[in-house]
Amino acid sequence: MSETNSDQPLEEHYNAPLRPHDFDGIHEFDNKLPNWWLWTFFGAMIFSVVYWFGYQVLHVWAGSLESYQIEVKKHEAERDRLIAQTMDLTDEGLLKLSKDPEAVARGKATFHGAGTCWTCHAVDGSGGIGPNLTDDYWLHGSKPRQIYRTVNHGVPLKGMEPWGPKLGPKRVADVVAYVLTIKGTHKKGKAPQGELEKDEPKSAPPAKGKTEKDKTQKDETKKDK
């Protein structure tokens, strides 16, 4: 370390200016910062402004929370797709589900959940903003599969949101199972809407001792006469 002449000013000895302050006789040189450091500093300032406007003001890019929510929705959609593949969502399968007390109880609980079906269709399904679910008139079909499609995809033009993304296929199927149990109970409520769609009555069994073959033979005998 070089020694300084006590009579020689520090700035002259080190060929560097001193800052106009000292602390307990300690002086600070006013050295110029390296250009790479200055460019890094100013670049970080510019980047922070662009970052803040892009994420917080203009929302050009998805933030951490939004990115997480997008990924969660992707995984939930894939989960629901796999669940739907293992379920019997045919008319017969949904009718069978409506005979399962546990599935009907789950569907009823969802139907009466916070902000779900009952808010538009009333607690007993007799209708309010939405149509009466207990009569024989249906706007979008009364078959189990048609009801499932209506609940799952919604009817945006009529104000009904799609419940599939919120509930998933299993809970939608449970709701349909419950709706099938109140269908045709004819609760007093909103006036009928849509088309009359009564369930087709089951054909009566053939008379005892008579078969379809006997009936055919009888018809042929009549023609011969």
Q: What is the pLDDT of residues 99-133, one digit of tens each?
A: 999 999 999 999 999 989 999 999 999 999 999 99
Assess whether pLDDT exceeds 50 at residue 1. Answer: no
Rounded-to-integer distance, Cα 104 and Cα 96, Å: 11
pLDDT of amino acid 9: 64
Where exactly are the structural domains of the chain?
7-61, 88-196
| 26-67 pLDDT tens trace | 878 777 888 999 999 999 999 999 999 988 888 888 888 888
Q: Do the Cβ atoms of 13 and 5 come closer than 8 Å?
A: yes
**Taking the model in full, what pTM does it have?**
0.58
Overall CATH class of domain 88-196: mainly alpha
